[in-house]
Structure 1
């Protein structure tokens, strides 16, 4: 593995490149861009689980930290702006096509959770992406208009506007912690809905905790996400082969619902919804059995289409 920095506007994106066994820089390899979930980082599921597994199958996999998050640059920190997140994919594609060992005609993308929605949206207008895979992918804009705004998107936007005005006048930045501090705290607060609780179990315990997996968001800059739709124009612009992997234990973050929607809407001639039965959103992050079932479908998908 190699850690690199990729220029994106006025800051750098931090990324890990995972290489296949017996890597030879004189050869040409298919490449996969691996995108992490909301509030996550490249050292979690996108890199150390799916990235490593796909590299072992012969792909060069680049797992990156979103701008303003993780080890990537950008100020202020913890911005979760879909437009900027999608732009990251273009910068990463720019970098990949400069590498002599990457076949520019065989670049794919894999997105997990919110990274899945971003991957789908990026692929619509970034035609260097030739195949799209998602694991428990979520349309972050839809989620912001619903559960993440308490089903009051206009009220949330008004609060964001007031906070942004206060910060422009010198107030302290409001950075929200998106999860309880521990599973025990989640239970104490009655936050036992499957996705919320299992997110806490993943990010707030040694199971998945990493220094850069902060799960924090700058409240005053969330407005762009409320008005964004990961699937906008999919009927017209999403033409690449598409594989969407979801678990059938349905939770509040809505990956199952979003997966069904994008499969229905995508213009892609080759598209498939893979339902991993008996497993949940966060099981698909790192648990060996559901991950192996997801990879059993994703690996041949990428090999066929890249």
Structure 2
């Protein structure tokens, strides 16, 4: 048994997840476990599960990669909702679930998040003390991204005004507005004149066979975005994030800002044991799935988790 589809509860709906097991798994033994969180707009079958979750399971850990509530195969009535409070609660519910498994050592649970999932992992670990070690790969603060918008001084206010207008319209009978995160394909990106490296590679990852998955349809419920605009994934990490921490970033800097977010996490975290790994000549999306880049990240992530989870 290398993996198993499972569900766990967040409030009254099911969160869909994939458990992955070490090759020599013995249900009569106890293992360290790692919760693996996907990027914004992603799903468990992509980088969090198929790359990092699998590699960490191969290294001897139980891993749990889940679809965020309201997304992928998970429940939640409002589809395609990106709500920070619900996303962070997913992590706590994942920890709850792991404690019910007799082969998981409750004192050896860690968390790893990629991109927006990394920002959420940091935020969740501040108040979820069952996470004993925290790893991030190109972690991004989704609230910062929402506030920056088109990089004009009043971008956040313009976004909030647009959300308010859309909520009014929907309250009065208009159809829901389901936006996209990125251009729907390479042709649309070129027509829009968007050449930032992160957008270019996001389109290549999410809209081609390279990374495309049914659980990641590039859909976002626009009227539900107001809480994200005021969210700061890193607020209070200088006080509450004390667990051992390993941060991975690439030095090809793009508009999503994971490079500077990595430095911010490292500078602010209260963790006494913290490390920042900069993978040279590597972009945000190369650290999603490219073997050389992910291999370098895992060369340090695996020893980090083995040290702190046993």
Report if TM-score (shorter chain) is over 0.5: yes
Match of 2:108 in 1: 106
- Separation (CA, whole Å) in 1 of partners of 2:263 and 2:292: 23
- Cα separation, 2, equivalents of 1:176 and 1:165: 17
Q: Which residue of 2 aligns with 1:289?
A: 292
Using the size of structure 2 for normalisation, the TM-score is 0.97
Q: Which of 60, 63, 67 pairs up with 1:61?
A: 63
Partner of 2:124: 122
Partner of 1:207: 210
- Match runs of 1:129-140 below 5 Å: 129-140=131-142
1:224 aligned to 2:227?
yes
Gap runs ≥5 in structure 1: none
Cα deviation per residue 1:129-173 (whole Å; 9 max; x = unaligned)?
000000000011111100368651012111111211221222100
Structure 1-normalised TM-score?
0.98
For 1:207 and 1:293, the matched residues in 2 are separated by: 20
SS across alignment from 1:91: helix
Residue 132 to residue 139, structure 1, CA distance change in 2 (3 Å): same
CA–CA distance in structure 1, aligned partners of residues 77 and 89 of structure 2? 16
Q: Separation in 1 of the partners of 2:246 and 2:90?
A: 21
Aligned to 2:272: 269
Which residue in the other structure is 2:39 paired with? 37
Q: Is the 8 Å Cα contact of residues 26 and 101 (structure 1) preserved in structure 2?
A: yes
CA distance in 2, matches of 1:149, 1:76: 29
Worse overlay, 162-171 or 30-39: 162-171
Tell me, in whole angstroms, the C-alpha distance in 2 between the residues paired with 1:215 and 1:293.
29
Q: 1:138-287 residue pairs with structure 2 within 5 A?
A: 138-147=140-149, 152-287=155-290
Count of matched residue positions in the alignment of Structure 1 and Structure 2? 306
Once the two structures are TM-superposed, the CA of residue 188 in structure 1 deviates from its matched residue by 2.6
- Distance, in Å, in 1 between the alignment partners of 2:57 and 2:299 is 14
Quote the Cα distance in structure 2 between the aligned partners of 1:147 and 1:197: 17
Specify which of 40, 45, 48 is matched with residue 50 of structure 2.
Answer: 48
